[in-house]
Structure 1
């Protein structure tokens, strides 16, 4: 419990929003601190924080801010005041350092970013799975997940912080992709998805596996850091129609890894790590998840 209340900075760090956002919500919607002492800044109580948590959750799920504020203000004061306030403040700089930049992405991305900063798995999962259900995997990846992941990456590159945020967000995204229903009774998978040797970023191929599942196709997902010898062994055993190999950075994109895939009808070098001029002419290099999905589907039976 917090008897003396919380400052705006403490609340901002807890909720994963900027102090300016708190001030805007206070000014526009009356979602601000009630506790005030002469010659002191206003302090946020447990009731105030509970209402702001409702505001963050609802805006994170895509509800317009004004409507979310009305719902937050309707939280029963006694119920809200009885909730314990436990302060857990992640490292961050003042003046906007508590937020994840998402560029021009929509309100769902901003809400997901706030939930990620709060380490709020339930809200993150809700936002992601709802958009997958409503708009599909490709739209969710492009419009929701990529902007937030890029924002977390930028913050980490600048400060070395947010490792825990990145890990928890990635785990939640991975779980959401795994939850996409796989087609029952579908033929054996003809698509093999893997990350290049020493490549640890597997979310893009997990996204492609989920997108293929939405279209009724199974795939075999090997995941991160697949050695060339292991990849060639799987190809030799299963004879897939399509092999997609993901590389995030040039350091993991040695073209020699593709030599063991000769004889595969379609080899796809996916990700920004690959350089077009270093690849054999027969290797496809899509520029997005949507392009990769369309390319793979053209080679699968019954996908037309």
Structure 2
């Protein structure tokens, strides 16, 4: 599932020296990336990220630089970036530059956060993936509960749940299939994360508010964060998906939180101006945002962005000292 493409940027992997008619057809590139040829044509037509060289027969061919850009776009899409934003970043990326960091989040509920260290060749990842593809809810539930009990939320998320979700995302990107698989696995994850008990004696007297941005429906990352905070002894109030700005403002006034965390998966829901409109309180709260939907260069100076589940937990527990 998490196969990494090792493409020769200098053209030597195209079957001939770079100064000759090097280039790959759309079918060959689709096979390399694991996507449909029609998907590549759509990326070319809509976003201008396509082949730049023509063969003697006037057929357009993908150069090594073209493929490097497509790899960047593909990785960003699998991380959850909107197609237009992924294409913009890919077109701006220098060919042969360093690989993009992970942690932008995954499409739909395929999120974020932290690089997986238990690769797709691992038996546990394969086992959960097989159960997911078979729509075997009980087997998925057992695997998820076992990982959470043994490893804790953050490690299970980074090393098991995210790799499997990303693998399902690859299948979806290639074929448009597996929506049912993702929905069932997400439901199982939500159920098992909800089983993590809240702290009996919380370290915080004032709550941490967790919410999705208005119209943001991808709430799985916020549920994972709530469970991870519970393990760390932090009481959190989870408002869930699609929290309107007035509702979040009202919750801030009612609870006087220590911190507020807002998740945005897509650029359509991550409007920085909405953050500036949230009410102040005394004592003041820490405002933290996560997810690939936020344009970091436009966030208010008072807002702290985080790029992974690990970072979110560290940021939201740092004000309480050691447990």
- Pairing 1:265–2:285 present: yes
Q: Which of 176, 181, 185 is the matching residue for 1:169?
A: 185
- The alpha-carbon deviation at position 259 of structure 1 amounts to 2.1
Whole-Å separation in 1 of the counterparts to 2:306 and 2:170: 24
What is the aligned partner in structure 1 of residue 150 from structure 2? 134
Question: For residues 182 and 296 of structure 2, what CA distance do their matches in structure 1 show?
Answer: 29
Instruction: Report runs of 4+ in structure 1 exceeding 6 Å deviation.
Output: none
Determine the C-alpha separation between the residues in 2 that align with 1:262 and 1:105.
Answer: 48
CA–CA separation in structure 1 for the residues paired with 2:121 and 2:288: 29
In the other structure, the counterpart of 1:217 is 234
| Larger radius of gyration between Structure 1 and Structure 2 | 1
Q: Alpha carbons of 1:293 and 1:254: their partners in 2 closer, same or farther (altered >3 Å)?
A: same
Q: Please list the CA deviations of residues 167-189 of structure 1 after superposition, one character each: whole Å capped at 9, or x if unmatched.
A: 11000000110001112254655
Q: How far apart, CA to CA, are the structure 2 residues paired with 1:270 and 1:201? A: 12
Alignment of 1:110-121 (within 5 A): 110-121=126-137
> Does structure 2 conserve the Cα–Cα contact (< 8 Å) formed by 1:276 and 1:285?
yes
Distance 1:230 1:303, change over 3 A: farther
CA distance in 2, matches of 1:292, 1:245: 11
Equivalence for 2:264: 247
- By relative contact order (CA 8 Å, sep 6+), the higher-ranking structure is 2
Task: Please state how far the C-alpha of 1:105 moved relative to its aligned partner.
Answer: 5.8
- The 3-state SS of whatever aligns with 2:313 is helix
Say how many residue pairs are matched: 202
Deviation string, structure 1 residues 117-146 (Cα, Å, up to 9, x no partner): 011111111111111111110001111111
- Greater helix fraction, Structure 1 or Structure 2: 1
In terms of mean alpha carbon deviation, does 182-191 or 160-169 score higher? 182-191
What 5-or-longer segments of structure 1 have no aligned partner? 1-101
Quote the offset at 1:238 in angstroms. 1.1
* Aligned pairs (5 A) from 1:173-184: 173-184=189-200
The equivalent of 1:275 in structure 2 is: 295
Maintained 8 Å contact 1:116/1:169 = yes
Structure 2: where are the runs of 5+ without partners?
1-117
Picking from 227, 243, 247, the partner of 1:230 is 247
Q: Give the Cα–Cα distance (whole angstroms) in 2 for the partners of residues 130 and 136 of structure 1.
A: 10
TM-score normalised by structure 1 residue count: 0.63
2:141 corresponds to which of 113, 116, 125: 125
